[in-house]
Structure 1
Amino acid sequence: MYIRTLARTGGAWESLDVLGGPAAGPVAFGGDLGPQSLLAAYRRGLYPFPAATAEQRIVNELLYEADVEAGVVKTLPGDEPFSIAWCSPDPRPVIPVGQARLQRSLRRQLRHTPDWTTTADLCFERVVRRCRAGRAEQWLTDDLLRGLCVLHELGHAHSVEVWEGDELIGGTFGVRIGRVFSADSQFTLRSGAGKTAVADLTRRFAAAGGLAVDVQRDGDHVRLLGARPTPRARYLALLTGPDTARPLPTERLPARRLAG
C-alpha cells in the first residue's frame, strides 16, 4: 500500500516549491501520513499538522481555501485535501548541536538528582503516546502515530527518554534527515525533564556526527535551549548536505553529565 502511495505522490513532493511557499501557515495541504510520504516531506523541510476532527478540517478550508485556489498554498494528491497541513516556517528555530544550553537552575537540578538517567530508542511509541496525552490539539493522530512508528522501525525516527529510577518522566522524538534532526514534540512529568530530553538529544546527535536539531515551532522555551531563527533557505541547504552521520548512541547515561 505504501509503495503505491509513494508512486502516486512522489512526483508531487519533488515538484513542490517549499522555498517559495508562505513563511507562516501551511505550505501545502493533502497527501497522506504513510511512512514514505512522511519521509519525503521531512526531506523537503516539511512537517505534518493533521486535522484530528471534521471541524478542524472545515476550519482549514475556511482559512486557506482562497490561498489554495490562488496557488499560494499547494495541494498534494489525497482523499481529503484539507485534512493534513504541511508546514515549513521561515525562519525555522534550529539548535546547532555545539550551542545547546541548559538554564543554570536546571543544571543545578541535574547535579542534585543522581537517579535521573537518559536513553535513546528504548520505547519510541510510548514516548509518542505520552507526547499526545492530554493535549488540547490532537495533531498526533492515530494515522500519524502509525506512520512515525514505521519510520522508527526503518531507522529514520528516534526517541530520547528521561528516567527517574524506573519511571519514564520525560522524552522527545522526531525524524532524522542526514545531519539534521527534526524534533516533533516533547513531554515532561517532572519539572525540567522535557528540556533535559532535548539537551540529551543534541548531545547524542552531536556524537553521531549531526549538525543541528530543528525544533519546528519557535518560542521562549526553545530559545532558552539555544534555538536560533534560521532562514528557510539555509535550513533546506542543511537537509541536502552530505550525510556523514553515524548511528545515534542509545546507551543509558546519567543525566547529570549534561550539567557539565
Structure 2
Amino acid sequence: MSGTAQWWAAVVLDRAPSDAPAAFCADLGPDALLAGYRAGAFPMPAPDEYALWMNEARYEEQVAEGIIAAPPGAGEDAFGVAWWCPDPRPVIPVTGARLGSRLARRLRNSDLWTTTADKAFGEVVERCAAGRTPAWLTADLRAALEALHARGRAHSVEVWEEGELVGGAFGVRVGPVISLDSMFGIRPDAARVAVADLAQRLSEAGGLLLDVQWDSPHVRSLGAVPRPRAEYLALLRGGPSAGPPPGEERPASRLG
C-alpha cells in the first residue's frame, strides 16, 4: 500500500465541510485513487494553473486548520486535486433507477439497442471527457482509472446501436457501491439507459447503490435520492462487498 493510500485509510470524513472540498491530495496513482473512494470521497482535479491557484487561495487556511484534510507535508501542488464528500449524498438504489414511461415504452417496442459492461471502458471514459468544461478528467486521472479497470475495480456500461457506441457510464466499485463518475449519450436517452442498465447489473452482483456524487434535477430524474453523508459512509465501511457487474450483451428492451 502506498503512503498516500495509508493516509487515506486514516481519514475520517464524517465532519468534513458540506460546502467545500473534504480533502486535497494530488496523488492520483491507482492505489491512492481507490483509497480515496473507499474513504467516501471522489476527485475533481484542477484543469489548469488558474484553478489550482483558486483552490489554494480559497481553502489554504482551512487546510492549515485541519478542517480540510491533506497529507502531512503536502505542498501547494496538493491543491491541484480537490476531493469532495457532499452531505447529503445523492444515490440511486439499484432497484430505483428511473427510465420514465415514454422511454420504457419505446424500449419495449424496439430491439435497436443492446448493452454490455466493461467491453469498452477506455472509449466510454474518452467520450465522457470530450468537450466537458471544466475538463476534470485529466490525463493522470484517466490513467489511474484505466489501471483500476485492469484490476477489476472500475467499470463501464455501454449502449450499442448496430455496433456503434451511443451511450455509456463509468465509475469505481467500493463495497456495495459504484461511484458513478460520468455518463454520456449521443442518442437521446442513451445515458439514462446506461444508468438503468448498470443499476440492474450491480444488483445482480450484490450491490446496493449507484453514488451519483452531485445532486441536481437531472440525477433526481434518474432516481437519485439524497442520503445523509453519515449513512452513506457507514454503508461503505460496513456494507456487503459487491462483485463486478456481469458483462454479457443484453437487449436494452428488457429494461422497459
Q: So what's the TM-score if we normalise by structure 2?
A: 0.95
Q: Which residue number in structure 1 is paired with residue 155 of structure 2?
A: 158
Deviations 1:14-35 (A, max 9, x none): 2323101101220111231110
- Among 168, 177, 181, the alignment partner of 1:180 is 177
**CA distance, structure 2, for counterparts of residue 246 and residue 33 of structure 1:** 24
Q: Which residue number in structure 1 is paired with residue 114 of structure 2?
A: 117
The answer as to 2:38 corresponding to 1:43 is: yes
CA 1:16–1:244: 2 relative to 1, 3 Å: closer
The answer as to 2:138 corresponding to 1:141 is: yes
Q: Which residue number in structure 1 is paired with residue 88 of structure 2?
A: 91
**CA distance, structure 1, for counterparts of residue 252 and residue 223 of structure 2:** 18
- Among 229, 249, 253, the alignment partner of 2:250 is 253
3-state DSSP class of the match of 2:78?
coil
**CA distance, structure 2, for counterparts of residue 62 and residue 171 of structure 1:** 36
Within a 5 Å distance, the mapping from 1:34-113 to structure 2 comes to 34-76=29-71, 78=74, 80-113=77-110
| Structural RMSD (CA) | 1.4
- Among 128, 132, 157, the alignment partner of 2:129 is 132
Partner amino acid, structure 2, of 1:48? P
Partner amino acid, structure 1, of 2:161? E
Deviation at 1:224, TM superposition (A): 1.2
**CA distance, structure 2, for counterparts of residue 94 and residue 147 of structure 1:** 24
Q: Which residue number in structure 2 is paired with residue 231 of structure 1?
A: 228
**CA distance, structure 2, for counterparts of residue 133 and residue 105 of structure 1:** 29
Partner amino acid, structure 2, of 1:203? Q
3-state DSSP class of the match of 1:148?
helix
Is the CA contact 2:152–2:244 (under 8 Å) kept in the aligned structure 1? Answer: no
Deviation at 1:181, TM superposition (A): 1.0
Q: So what's the TM-score if we normalise by structure 1?
A: 0.93
Is the CA contact 1:31–1:37 (under 8 Å) kept in the aligned structure 2? Answer: no
Q: Which runs of 5+ in 2 are unaligned?
A: none
Partner amino acid, structure 2, of 1:241? G
3-state DSSP class of the match of 2:95?
helix
Deviations 1:25-79 (A, max 9, x none): 2011123111000110011001000012111101111221222233221212555
3-state DSSP class of the match of 1:25?
coil
CA 1:254–1:156: 2 relative to 1, 3 Å: same
CA 1:11–1:245: 2 relative to 1, 3 Å: closer
3-state DSSP class of the match of 1:168?
strand
The answer as to 2:27 corresponding to 1:32 is: yes
**CA distance, structure 2, for counterparts of residue 117 and residue 161 of structure 1:** 8
Deviations 1:104-141 (A, max 9, x none): 12212323431101000001011001001011111000
Between the aligned residues of both structures, percent identity stands at 51
Deviation at 1:102, TM superposition (A): 1.2
Partner amino acid, structure 1, of 2:132? R
CA 1:197–1:18: 2 relative to 1, 3 Å: same
Partner amino acid, structure 2, of 1:214? D
**CA distance, structure 2, for counterparts of residue 197 and residue 158 of structure 1:** 12
Is the CA contact 2:97–2:195 (under 8 Å) kept in the aligned structure 1? Answer: no
**CA distance, structure 2, for counterparts of residue 124 and residue 75 of structure 1:** 30
Q: Which runs of 5+ in 1 are unaligned?
A: none
**CA distance, structure 2, for counterparts of residue 127 and residue 217 of structure 1:** 20
Answer with 242-251 or 166-175: which moved more: 242-251
Is the CA contact 1:22–1:73 (under 8 Å) kept in the aligned structure 2? Answer: yes
3-state DSSP class of the match of 1:58?
helix
**CA distance, structure 2, for counterparts of residue 249 and residue 11 of structure 1:** 31
Deviations 1:151-207 (A, max 9, x none): 000010000000111110000000011211111000110110001100000000011
Q: Which residue number in structure 1 is paired with residue 12 of structure 2?
A: 17
